[in-house]
């Protein structure tokens, strides 16, 4: 049973978007029609969510069929490939087609042992095998793109690329489907839920602070790395990358957060990252606690949120712009900045473009 509640109209502006939270009445389940315990008439029940500015509308619930996992997997299954690296010993991984010309996205660690004498064999979902070469690799982000190169005697493959990215933000508890080739067992499907929609690289010991991860309870094993993590709409939302020693804890690179890097690898064969020339730390409550203990009062930052500049390299872009140790970045390109990850997201991979920053000068 739900109780009615109301909220006041609120208008909030975040960056370039406007979010309006308006008054909603969530009413108790109500009955319509004749209510007669002994009569032949049927009882109709409807649950209604009423926006106060409009007429009552029926709240519809979109229900998935009992085959929802199979339906989601079916949309991408033909685009998932098995990757075999033949060196002194053979190793396997997974990947998926991102371009009809034969580009395959996978993890960099799947091909990290590749040498000039190595062979890469890509096996499609229907069992056909084709040689491939490394088109681009970036070990910092653990992303790699392979290029299928059919032999002159091969029938040109008809490749179907996946849909990268999700129309809707994933939530903890949302269903996801993992597809890969653990131990060489092609087209293996497991399902689970999103355990956390945002894990930082520092949480799992990864290198690139620009990369974020989805944590799921999908079961993945050796050979599953590089395979797609798919939502129920058949959209690839992650790249299965790593699992914990315990079953039921695995991590996938978030596609939405890495699209700019993936596009650079596909188009230019490398990722060009911007260089600031300063060290930084987010002004979290923990950092503030340490600063109050170790720093004289008159030298403390003049704001409690933002990015504290901890060092500036000589002759760097930050040095030439006049940034000093102890300054606090509070705004970048018109957007409020409260964490280092937000700053990296706002800047993206743009280089040689002017960046406007609002800084609270240090007391040093």
- Residues belonging to the active site: 109, 142, 225
CA distance 260 to 340: 18
Q: Is 289 helix (H, G, I), strand (E, B) or coil?
A: helix
β 44-46/30-32 pair status: antiparallel
Strand partners, 58: 48
Reading phi first (left if > 0) and then psi (alpha if -120 to 50, else beta), residue 334 is in left
57 φ/ψ angles, rounded to the nearest 5 degrees? -125, 145
- Burial tier of 300 (Cβ tally within 10 Å: 0-12, 13-18, 19+): middle
Which class for 223: exposed (0-12), middle (13-18), buried (19 or more C-beta within 10 A)? buried
Q: Report the DSSP beta bridge partners of residue 84.
A: 92, 121
Q: What are the Cα distances from residue 341, in Å, to 205, 239, 294, 308, 316?
A: 16, 20, 25, 13, 21
Name the strand (E) or helix (H) holding 268.
helix 255-268
* 108, two tokens: 């960099």
What number of other Cβ atoms are within 10 A of residue 318's Cβ? 22
Per DSSP, the three-state class of 4 is coil
The dihedral region occupied by 33, where left means phi > 0, alpha psi between -120 and 50, and beta the remainder, is: left
At 90, is the secondary structure helix, strand, or coil? strand
Instruction: Note the Cα 59 to chain centre separation in Å.
Output: 30
197-203-208 Cα angle (round to 5): 90
Q: What are the residues facing 134 on neighbouring strands?
A: 146
The answer to whether residues 96 and 81 touch, using CB atoms and an 8 Å cutoff, is yes
């Amino acid at each position: 049973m739900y109780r009615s509640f109301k909220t006041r109209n609120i208008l909030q502006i975040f960056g370039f978007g406007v979010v309006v939270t308006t008054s909603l009445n969530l009413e108790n389940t109500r009955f319509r029609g004749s209510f007669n315990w002994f009569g032949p008439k049927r009882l109709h029940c409807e649950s209604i969510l009423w926006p106060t500015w409009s007429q009552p509308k029926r709240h519809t619930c979109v229900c998935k069929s009992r085959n929802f996992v199979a339906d989601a997997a079916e949309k991408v299954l033909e685009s998932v490939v098995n990757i075999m690296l033949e060196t002194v010993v053979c190793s396997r991984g997974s990947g998926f087609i991102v371009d009809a010309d034969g580009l395959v996205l996978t993890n960099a660690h799947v091909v990290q042992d590749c040498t000039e004498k190595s062979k890469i064999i890509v096996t499609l979902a229907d069992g056909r095998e084709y040689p491939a070469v490394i088109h681009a690799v970036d070990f910092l982000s653990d992303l790699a793109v392979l290029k299928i190169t059919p032999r002159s005697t091969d029938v040109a493959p008809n490749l179907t690329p996946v849909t990268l990215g999700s129309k809707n933000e994933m939530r903890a508890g949302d269903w996801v489907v993992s597809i890969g080739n653990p131990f060489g067992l092609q087209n293996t499907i497991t399902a689970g839920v999103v355990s956390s929609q945002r894990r930082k690289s520092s949480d799992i010991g990864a290198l690139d602070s620009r990369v974020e991860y989805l944590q799921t309870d999908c079961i993945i094993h050796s050979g599953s790395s590089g395979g797609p993590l798919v939502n129920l709409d058949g959209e690839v939302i992650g790249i299965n990358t790593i699992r914990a020693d315990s079953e039921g804890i695995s991590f996938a690179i978030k596609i939405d957060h890495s699209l700019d890097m993936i596009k650079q690898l596909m188009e230019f064969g490398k990722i060009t990252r911007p260089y600031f020339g300063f060290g930084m730390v987010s002004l979290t409550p923990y950092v503030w606690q340490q600063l109050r203990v170790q720093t004289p009062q008159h030298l403390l930052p003049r704001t409690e949120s933002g990015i504290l500049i901890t060092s500036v390299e000589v002759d760097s872009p930050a040095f030439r712009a006049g940034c000093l140790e102890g300054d606090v970045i509070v705004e970048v390109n018109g957007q409020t900045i409260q964490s280092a990850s937000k700053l990296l997201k706002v800047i993206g991979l743009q280089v040689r473009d002017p960046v406007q920053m609002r800084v609270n000068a240090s007391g040093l």
